[in-house]
Structure formats: structure tokens, C-alpha cells
Amino acid sequence: MSAVLILPGLNGSGLEHWQTRWQRKLPGARRVEEDDWDHPRCDAWIASLERAVAASGPDTVLVAHSLGCLQIAHWAAVTKRSVRAALLVAPPDPELPSFPDAIQGFHPLPRAPLPFPSLLVASHDDPYSSFQFCSQLAADWGSTLIDAGRCGHINAASGLGDWPFGQECLQRLLASAT
């Protein structure tokens, strides 16, 4: 299986978040660690992802939630490295008033097609993003849009546990990115 890099969003992913659960279950999965989870700076997060991909190689699959999705878009716009694919879950809209002031440098958001296959999973009742925004983002990035129904921000508060639907999305992505 490909190396899996987990990219949490603001504040990291807690113990009950599906990303943390997957990290424990998926062989060789590891989290891209950030120096400051609470006050993200885009340049620092891009550098962290660059180091992680350099260490894991081009057969890497990125599994991002929330701000981690924006991190991937910014990284893809500047890197010369490649990855196998990316699962992008619940990207937040940096234009919304609810986008935290503590997050620096993630706006404007790159809209160029990502240079690797990707699935973007979105919810119809995400407080940090509209389904319409995610639909347009998927089109811009060349991602396949996956409708997750009404799952909030698709995080621990959504009560998804190991999130079987997300695991199915990951398997679909891996099968299509051979």
C-alpha cells in the first residue's frame, strides 16, 4: 500500500477524529506534524508538507481534513514533488466570516487544477463551507466531488467514528490512481 500522510486542520485532529482513528489503523500512516496547530501560517505548513512528502516519496497518498485541504492546494502550487493522490475532506471557505483570524496566509486560495488525482468530500451542512463552494472548488482543482450528505464539518463532532464512508472513498481513490 502507498504511504499515507494525514493532514489535520486547525488545532489538529483529536482522539475521536476519524483521521486519528485511521492513523492508528492504516499500516504506515503518519501525521504531518505542525509547529503551531492553533495559529497556522501557510508558509510553515507548506514547508512541513514538503518535508513529509520528500521523506515518504511519490507513491504517497494525502488524506486531508479542513485546513489541510487548503494546505495541499498551496503546496501543489509551489512544489516540484509529486504524490499519488489526495483525499480532500471538508475544505473551509476562507472568504466566510467564520474563517478564524488565527489562520494566516491561506487566502487567496489557489484554484489551478491539482497535478494528481483527488476526491473532494463535502457535506451539505458544513458550518465552515457551503456545498456550492466545495462543488466549485472540486471543478477548479479537477477533483471528483463526493456528496457526503449532511455530516456537518465531517469531524469528531459529527460522530462518525471510524467513518466507513470515508474509508470507501479512500479505497475508490486508491483504485482509480494506479
Query: Confidence class of residue 2 from pLDDT cuts 50, 70 and 90?
Result: confident
Report percent pLDDT > 70 for the chain: 99
Q: CA triplet 10, 142, 68: central angle to 5 degrees?
A: 10
Query: Confidence class of residue 28 from pLDDT cuts 50, 70 and 90?
Result: confident
Query: Confidence class of residue 93 from pLDDT cuts 50, 70 and 90?
Result: very high
Q: Which CATH fold would you assign to the domain 4-176?
A: Rossmann fold (3.40.50)
pLDDT exceeds cutoff 90 at 124: yes
- State the pLDDT at residue 34: 97
- State the pLDDT at residue 1: 62
- State the pLDDT at residue 178: 73
Q: What is the C-alpha separation between 166 and 88, in angstroms, rounded?
A: 10
**Can you tell me the mean pLDDT for 85-97?**
97
Query: Confidence class of residue 150 from pLDDT cuts 50, 70 and 90?
Result: very high
Indicate the residue type of 175: A
What's the mean pLDDT when you consider all of the chain? 95
Strands, E, within the chain: which ranges? 4-7, 30-31, 61-65, 85-89, 118-122, 144-147
pTM here?
0.96
